[in-house]
Copies of this chain bind each other. A is one copy, B any other.
Amino acid sequence: MDYEKYLSARVKTLKASAIREMFKLMADPEIISLAGGSPDPSLFPAKELAQIAQEILTENPVCALQYGTTDGYAPFKEVATGRAAKVGCVAEGDKIIITTGEQQAIDLALKSFVNDGENVAVEEPSFVGTLNSIRAHNGKLVPVPMDSDGMNLEKFEEILNGTKIKMLYTIPTFQNPSGITMSAEKRKKLIDLAEKYDFLIIEDNPYGDLRFAGEDVPPVKSFDKMGRVFYCSSFSKILSPGMRLGYIVAPADVIDRIEIAKQANDVHTPVLTQMMAAEYVKRYDIEANIAKAREIYGRKCSFMLSCMEKYFPDGVTWTTPEGGLFIWCTAPAGTDIQAVLMEAIKNKVAFVAGNSFMVDQDKPCSSFRLNYSTMPEEKIEKGIKALGESLSKFVKQ
């Protein structure tokens, strides 16, 4: 049977995420993957979580194994509310929804607010998971170019003048894939634009805690007096991505709606992992963990940048992030990055080609994304060296 003709319009155009497909390659233990966005596995507090899981399932098993509430396990909701409040994102009436990873928070916010064909503005490049989520809700992607201090707001205002934008999706801090952080000034200006042009904002902040240089910039949500910003964040980068724990802070009325949307999506997020995370935060100093992550990622980032200086051919440029997980590289226009990728994989190193992060994935793109958080330093050097050789074959000098 040919299922294509039955497919809904909303999924027909979706392509498999290049990053998720890369995961399959990673089954080859010889491949050095600079493709994913996985935390350094040495940061997982495995021993502590083993003990906590055992205790929860011994002392409070019915709570862990029975159905839970859609909004989340109360003590974990408190933890998440506290983390958001710490960066100035106060949950109205302490209302928050725990989601099965932050991707679900973003997906439910889009599902609840984007009608077919409505325009959703995104930074270009942007996170492929959200681009696909917008496509899957029949939203129309409107790209906004980036400067070194975040979205180009002049260009955005030009767009706003000609096009009705329903929502903006932004990753203001250590943006994926660019590594760029939006300035505080631009964040304030964004709120003014939202008010003036009447749009809503989804703020995606999974990396905010991972600053290893420069000064913290408050979330866009912290400047929001009107309730236009829905703030999404995650425990993936500060505790464990495999546990799939995210959350959304938004006005109480919006939270009520997202709760209903979540009921029809996965009923609730698994309880055990929520209990484990809540108990971990209660017993241990998660800030010490985060400090360790910052130190490791800062070191690895510097190291990768120094390897790139050494091994990359002239003409390739890149961003210098102050935190997060990614470096965005750009080869001279016309470089065939897909060919570089094929060659690199032959050389046992993987990365993500830039076109994945574009609104129009078929447009030629000479950029690509590198991740420095996952691999140990000796593999970073080996990988960047191999990648440099692959690039040299295709970069026209």
Contacts of A259 in B (CB 8 A): 16
Question: CB distance A1 to B227 under 8 Å?
Answer: yes
Interface presence of A66 (CB below 8 A): yes
Contacts of A107 in B (CB 8 A): 264-266
Would you give the 0/1 interface string for A1-38, flagging 1 where the beta carbon is closer than 8 Å to chain B?
10100111111001111001001100000000000101
Q: Which residue of B lies closest to A58 (CB)?
A: B50
Interface presence of A324 (CB below 8 A): no
C-alpha gap A268/B228 in the complex (Å) = 29
Q: Which residue of B lies closest to A246 (CB)?
A: B266
Interface presence of A132 (CB below 8 A): yes
Question: CB distance B226 to A1 under 8 Å?
Answer: yes
Give A332-363 interface residues, CB cut-off 8 Å to B.
none
C-alpha gap A144/B261 in the complex (Å) = 25
Question: CB distance A66 to B242 under 8 Å?
Answer: yes
Q: Which residue of B lies closest to A245 (CB)?
A: B270
Contacts of A61 in B (CB 8 A): 44, 46, 49-50
Question: CB distance A266 to B101 under 8 Å?
Answer: yes
Asked if A16 meets B136 with Cβ closer than 8 Å, knowing A46-B57, A53-B57, A129-B267, the reply is no
Q: Which residue of B lies closest to A60 (CB)?
A: B46
Give A250-274 interface residues, CB cut-off 8 Å to B.
251, 253-254, 256-257, 259-261, 263-273
Contacts of A101 in B (CB 8 A): 266-268
Question: CB distance A129 to B264 under 8 Å?
Answer: yes
| A14 partner, pick from B23, B56, B113, B264, beta carbons under 8 A | B264
Asked if A264 meets B113 with Cβ closer than 8 Å, knowing A44-B61, A50-B57, A58-B47, the reply is no
C-alpha gap A43/B10 in the complex (Å) = 41
Interface presence of A241 (CB below 8 A): yes
Contacts of A330 in B (CB 8 A): none
Nearest CB in chain B: distance from A286 CB, A: 14
Asked if A253 meets B3 with Cβ closer than 8 Å, knowing A67-B241, A267-B129, the reply is yes
Contacts of A65 in B (CB 8 A): 41, 44, 46, 49, 240-243
Contacts of A69 in B (CB 8 A): 20, 23-24
Question: CB distance B267 to A244 under 8 Å?
Answer: yes
Give A91-141 interface residues, CB cut-off 8 Å to B.
99-101, 103-104, 107, 111-116, 129, 132-133, 135-138
Would you give the 0/1 interface string for A40-79, flagging 1 where the beta carbon is closer than 8 Å to chain B?
0100101101110110111001111111111000000000
Contacts of A228 in B (CB 8 A): 1
Contacts of A7 in B (CB 8 A): 112-113, 257
Contacts of A227 in B (CB 8 A): 1, 3
Q: Which of A69, A104, A244 has the most CB of B within 10 A?
A: A244
Question: CB distance A58 to B46 under 8 Å?
Answer: yes
Contacts of A115 in B (CB 8 A): 8-10
Nearest CB in chain B: distance from A335 CB, A: 28
Contacts of A99 in B (CB 8 A): 266
Interface presence of A39 (CB below 8 A): yes
C-alpha gap A244/B37 in the complex (Å) = 25
Asked if A270 meets B251 with Cβ closer than 8 Å, knowing A8-B114, A50-B53, A260-B11, the reply is no
C-alpha gap A137/B65 in the complex (Å) = 30
Contacts of A39 in B (CB 8 A): 66
Interface presence of A325 (CB below 8 A): no
Can you report 5 A-B residue pairs in the complex whose CB atoms are below 8 A from each other?
A38-B67, A53-B57, A65-B241, A244-B266, A265-B265
Closest 4 CB pairs of A and B: A46-B61, A50-B57, A54-B54, A53-B53
Given contacts A53-B53, A273-B273, 7 further A-B contacts (CB under 8 A): A11-B260, A49-B65, A50-B61, A65-B241, A104-B265, A129-B263, A272-B273
